[in-house]
Structure 1
Amino acid sequence: MFGLDMGGVGPEVLLYGLPLAFLAGFIDAVAGGGGTISLPALFFMGLSPVQAVATNKLLAIFGSATSTYQYWRGGHLDRDLLLRTVPLALIGSALGAYLVRFVDPDSFRALVGVVILAVGALVIANKRFGLESTYPGLTARTLALALPGVLVIGIYDGFLGPGTGTFLMLLFALTGMNLVSSSGNARAVNFATNLGALGLFLAAGNIVWWLGLSMGLANALGARTGAKMAMLKGSGFVKVIYAVIVVVVALVMFRG
């Protein structure tokens, strides 16, 4: 399964691949959007589109698992809520992957770019949004927001993908969580959707293993650093990074 296939690239690509994977892990652990760094790096190395996407899922598993663990240790995950939302995220991502066969996702890129910019503007304009926790726990309102929200975002992740973690952060913040806890719970859900997608790529044999594993370790180190920084610096720090990532993701969507 692992083989010796180099994917058409040599080990010299790690000179820039490892630092970029670390940065992607750091950014993703704080505010999502790490794929906007790691995926273009894999394309630049010369991987085919399917190899790049599949290998990116492998390295992202390392980062999302690491950051999820760090946020869990810090007490920022709502286990009961995750037990209800993760299955919906998996169902949604599978449905999105199915729907992409019938609808061209490129036609939605500009729309998603506009939506994520509008979301970012609302978060930034409301100076207190996400800075303090008003999370009431597993109430009817929380479930009414989180369950359909995660399902829809899961569909988006399977259908298109960029900005999934950023949208999840906003969703959890709307339930009353501060941005640190929102980021932690978003990472946990995103880990589940990454794992589901990875299973499909494993069956298809599209992963460049040596590259995904080596960059995955760098991604995990970046994620560990980012999660610790977010918990240390607090929601104000996360909000600044979130604002930057919103702009980056929107630009990626507009450019296609």
Structure 2
Amino acid sequence: MPGPEVLLYGLPLAFLAGFIDAVAGGGGTITLPTLFFMGLSPAQVVATNKLLAIFGSGSATYQFWRKGNVERALVLRLIPLALAGAALGAYLVHFVDPDSFRTLVGVVILLVGALVLVNKRFGTEDRYPGLTARTLALTLPGAFVIGMYDGFLGPGTGTFAMFMFALAGFNLVKSGGNARTLNFATNLGAFLFFLIGGQMVWWLGLPMGAANALGATLGARMAMLRGSGFVKAVYAVIVLLVAMRLFFVR
């Protein structure tokens, strides 16, 4: 078990992860390696990461929600499907080869990033048509699949969710608000599951969670202040980081 000195780098990295995650998703690409580096077991890493993630995603959700950047009628319909998908994903871990799946997802997220960057208008304007049949046909199964991915593997869940909401017609700021809200629900569900297992390292997760929440608050406010162009630039960087983690970290 590590000593308290690991917080000297754990706290600033948790803050950075919260900031990045609130803007474009992908905060887990920072917090998971950080917890591994501290010497925790894999089970402790996953459980403790969910503990601090509910602070960050909850803080970001609050900021986006209070400023009207969450489409509540839609997101509240998607949360049950995302939770059901996450439960199925956690179950499928025992039957599917994670390495092959990780490589496939790495390719997919690079294609997603390329589509976002090549289409200069993608995510820059809010064209959400409301709760139409097309919107529900895209987001209902999409939320289930994203939840399943979160339960199975995890890295880049928020990034994929942002892409889904942008496809539905939201600009990237509102896509981020919707994605953070959806991600908070799946993080909370996973937190309750891991709480039963007793693997959380509370003395690490709580202070790092507070730092993560501070970073997420700043990131959410920055995204709303700077707009979709800023979010798109950060999104491109996060796509690369998530893809690199999926390809090269086993």
Q: Flag whether TM exceeds 0.5 (same fold).
A: yes
Quote the offset at 1:110 in angstroms.
1.1
AA of the residue aligned to 2:18 = G
Quote the offset at 1:85 in angstroms.
0.1
Does the residue aligned with 1:133 lie in a helix, a strand or coil? coil
Q: Which residue of 1 aligns with 2:242?
A: 249
Q: How does 1:1-256 map to 2 (within 5 A)?
A: 8-256=1-249
Quote the offset at 1:23 in angstroms.
0.2
Does the residue aligned with 1:207 lie in a helix, a strand or coil? coil
- Distance across 2 between alignment mates of 1:106 and 1:61: 27
Does the residue aligned with 2:32 lie in a helix, a strand or coil? helix
Quote the offset at 1:199 in angstroms.
1.1
Does the residue aligned with 1:193 lie in a helix, a strand or coil? helix
- Distance across 2 between alignment mates of 1:201 and 1:65: 17
Quote the offset at 1:138 in angstroms.
1.1
Quote the offset at 1:242 in angstroms.
0.2
Quote the offset at 1:102 in angstroms.
1.2
AA of the residue aligned to 2:15 = F
AA of the residue aligned to 2:99 = D
- Distance across 2 between alignment mates of 1:83 and 1:16: 36
Quote the offset at 1:33 in angstroms.
0.1
- Distance across 1 between alignment mates of 2:73 and 2:213: 26
Quote the offset at 1:117 in angstroms.
0.4
AA of the residue aligned to 1:15 = L
After TM superposition, the score normalised by the length of structure 2 is: 0.99
- Distance across 1 between alignment mates of 2:146 and 2:66: 26
- Distance across 1 between alignment mates of 2:6 and 2:189: 28
Equivalenced residue count is 249
- Distance across 2 between alignment mates of 1:31 and 1:154: 17
**Identity in percent:** 75
Structure 1, residues 28-47: CA drift from partner, whole Å, max 9, x if none?
00000000001100000000
- Distance across 2 between alignment mates of 1:184 and 1:19: 24
Quote the offset at 1:106 in angstroms.
1.7
- Distance across 2 between alignment mates of 1:132 and 1:154: 26
AA of the residue aligned to 1:61 = I
Quote the offset at 1:149 in angstroms.
0.5
- Distance across 2 between alignment mates of 1:252 and 1:82: 28
Structure 1, residues 167-187: CA drift from partner, whole Å, max 9, x if none?
000000001000000000000
AA of the residue aligned to 1:21 = A
Does the residue aligned with 1:172 lie in a helix, a strand or coil? helix
- Distance across 2 between alignment mates of 1:126 and 1:111: 23
- Distance across 1 between alignment mates of 2:49 and 2:81: 23
AA of the residue aligned to 2:169 = G
- Distance across 2 between alignment mates of 1:196 and 1:82: 16
AA of the residue aligned to 2:91 = Y
